[in-house]
Structures are given as C-alpha cells and as structure tokens.
Amino acid sequence: MREAIAEYYGTRARRVTGLLIAGNLLFFGALLAAMFYLRWVSEAWPAPFHFASLLMVAAMTLFALCGSVTVAIGAHAAKINETEPAVRWIAIAISCWFVFLFLEIVEWVRLVYLERLGPDTSFGSTFLLLTGTHWLAAALCIGWFTYAAVDVRKRDVLAPAMYSHFLNFWWIVLVFALYFTNADLGGL
C-alpha cells in the first residue's frame, strides 16, 4: 500500500502538483463558500437547470472522466516505455477535455443569453466564476498534457494525470453543489 501511494509523490513534478492541487482546492472551496453565502442572503435564487441541461452536465462529466482515465493509461504506457501508445492515449485525453470545454461554453451561452442569468445577477456571477475557473484550469491541464506528450520519455505524465483527476473530483463537487441544488425537475 505504501509503495502505491509513494508513486504519487515520487518525483518533484508530482510533489509540486500536490501543492498545486492543495492551493486549487482552497481557492475553489472559497469560491464555493461565497456562492453558498450569496445564495443564503439572496431573496430570489433561480433554478435554471432542467432535465436537458442536466443531460449535458452528465455528458460533460463523462468526457472529463474519459479524459482522466485515458491520460492515466497514457501515464502507465509511458512508465513502461511504450512511447507511441502513451502519446495516443494522451491525445485522446486532450480531445475529451476539449469536448468538455466546448460543452461548458454551450452551457454558458444558454444561461447568459437564453435564461438571462449573466454576470449581472448573483447566480450568474457565481456560476460563471465557479465554472469559469474550472474551465481555465482544464484548459491549462490540456496544455500540460500537450507538454507531456511532446516527450513522454523525459516528462512526467503522471503529474498532469493527477491534476486531471483533481479537476474531475472538483467537477463532481460542482455538479452536486451547483447543478443539482439549482435544478428544476418539476416539469419532468
């Protein structure tokens, strides 16, 4: 058991990734606490998520999970010096995260332009801040994947995989704290 855990802090890149994850967790947690505070003091808090938008969130979650799983497979292939399969798996992970980012933009367009819940509303500002920071972190993670894929023999592929796993964890927290708590399934 100790050897399995030691793998996740075995290199300098992985230790720095652990610190990055801890910092991101504190930052995202503070944003989530601010959202709950604004929800508590707000007189009218909308429930803009319907069944169709929750299906989109489910698709986004599946693409994010696929991105994490495939980069972990790529990290394992890089560990056993299978360069070509490692690059292919990382490319699939990059593609999955790109689809996730695109679907997130579609969700923003729906909320801002169709539901009229833009940054001028309490809900819109907190929603866009929470999902926007996650979007930026996922975009940076894609860049990190690309950096690792360029030379999988010399670069630590498990470090961006760990960060991708953290982004998935945080996305699932957002799904439960942001999407499900603001869902209106009365017309289902």
Given a cut of 90, is residue 10 above it in pLDDT? no
Q: Is 17 left (phi over 0), alpha (psi -120 to 50) or beta?
A: alpha
Torsion over CA: 104, 110, 115, 116 (sign): positive
The model carries a pTM of 0.91
Q: Say what the pLDDT of residue 188 is.
A: 63
**Calpha distance 24→138 (Å, rounded):** 12
The mean-pLDDT minimum among 54-68, 124-138, 146-160, 173-187 falls in 173-187
**Calpha distance 6→8 (Å, rounded):** 5
Write out the H or E segment, with its range, that includes residue 25.
helix 12-41
CB 157 within 8 A of CB 146: no
Instruction: Write out pLDDT tens, residues 144-170.
Output: 999 999 999 999 999 999 999 999 999
Spatial CA neighbour of 63 closest among 93, 42, 84, 89: 93
> What mean pLDDT do residues 41-51 have?
89
Given a cut of 70, is residue 187 above it in pLDDT? no
Given a cut of 80, is residue 6 above it in pLDDT? no
Instruction: Write out pLDDT tens, residues 70-128.
Output: 999 999 999 999 999 999 999 999 999 999 999 999 999 999 998 888 888 889 999 99
Given a cut of 90, is residue 137 above it in pLDDT? yes
